[in-house]
Structure 1
Amino acid sequence: MISEYLGIDSDYIVIGLAALVLILIIVMIVNAAKMHSLKKAYNNFMTGKDAKNLEDTILKRLDQVEQLMDSNEKNEKNINRIFSNMKYTFQKVGLVKYDAFNEMGGKLSFSLALLSQTNDGFIINAMHSREGCYTYIKEIIDGNSVITLSEEEQEALDTALNSNKK
């Protein structure tokens, strides 16, 4: 047969096959030991610390993620609502102090312009004299007044209109 064809004694073939079987048995034992170690590590991983189950931990984290997503959605809605309300708040300010009358000093009179994002608002003009203080208000719509503005009022309005352009 093969031994006669190759010129090898059959005893050497049997010894070689026995050695191969012995090596395969050793490899199988090493694999079994590694598999046992892996199973032990897997069981420890799945049971977790303090008898906590990995599934319970994952479900808990998923619930927390859902809560965070809901909270984020509410925050976005609140922020959008705040920004839409901000359009109507006074965001632009212009103030000019001046002397209304030559005999008065100290720049006690003033013009104060308060405008929203859409340039709507009013100008308060307070003129201080020896007899008293007179206060006037003029409505501003889209950056303009229907009533003619004094020089100081126009300066306060221009300051307010340019206050957010920085």
Structure 2
Amino acid sequence: MESNILNLLGLGNIDPAIFILALLALVLILLLIVIIQGCKISKVSKKFNKFMTGKDAKSLEDEIVDLFHENKMIRAENDKNRKDIQDINKRMQRTFQKIGLEKYDAFSQMGGQLSFALCMLDENDNGFLMNSVHSTDGLNYSYSKVINAGIADVELSDEEKKALDSARESVRR
């Protein structure tokens, strides 16, 4: 079968059935694309209809205004929470966070380690050291020493130094 049109295009020696099959394949591909696009449009249409059900422009405006109001309230609450957390962190710096305890025998003939040195420090290594000495006659003698920036106001015994070092190392950040 000869075609004048194909001869003019320089494709006269190609069978016209090949062109028809190629065009049929192209039509099928385009039909598939149309079906896919129709499905996508249907999904968007369903979402739009669900969103607009029972609503007019005024009620949508009210909803948007409510959302902005809620957003503003949430931001204010968030700012308040942030300030509260900063306040708590400031307070935490002044609370005792580091504790060191050193138990010992004050006298060589006694056992049971009834004497102790207790050190309690805040974040800046300020606090106190308490030493409780259990004597051979069964009495307890307690002494306290002020600690500023990790330094005692008076000379420390070996046990007190151990308690202070233990407290300073008890919290690592």
Q: Which amino acid aligns with 2:65?
A: L
* Structure 1 residues 116-165: Cα deviation after superposition (integer angstroms, max 9, x where no partner): 11111110101112431111000011111121101000000011112223
How far has the Cα of 1:111 moved from its partner?
A: 0.5
Q: Structure 2: how far apart are the matches of 1:80 and 1:43?
A: 45
What percent of counterpart residues are identical? 40
Alignment of 1:112-151 (within 5 A): 112-131=118-137, 132-151=139-158
Alignment of 1:12-161 (within 5 A): 48-49=53-54, 53-131=59-137, 132-161=139-168
Give the alignment's TM-score, normalised by structure 2.
0.65
CA contact (8 A) 1:92 1:116 kept: yes
Q: Residues 49 and 154 from structure 1, CA distance in 2 versus in 1: closer, same or farther, beyond 3 angstroms?
A: farther
Q: Which amino acid aligns with 1:160?
A: A
Number of the residue aligned with 2:9: none
Q: Structure 2: how far apart are the matches of 1:124 and 1:164?
A: 19
Runs (5+) with no aligned partner, structure 1: 1-39
Runs (5+) with no aligned partner, structure 2: 1-44
- State the superposition RMSD in angstroms: 2.7
Number of residues of Structure 1 aligned to a counterpart in Structure 2: 128
Give the alignment's TM-score, normalised by structure 1.
0.68
CA contact (8 A) 2:107 2:136 kept: no
Q: Structure 2: how far apart are the matches of 1:110 and 1:46?
A: 72
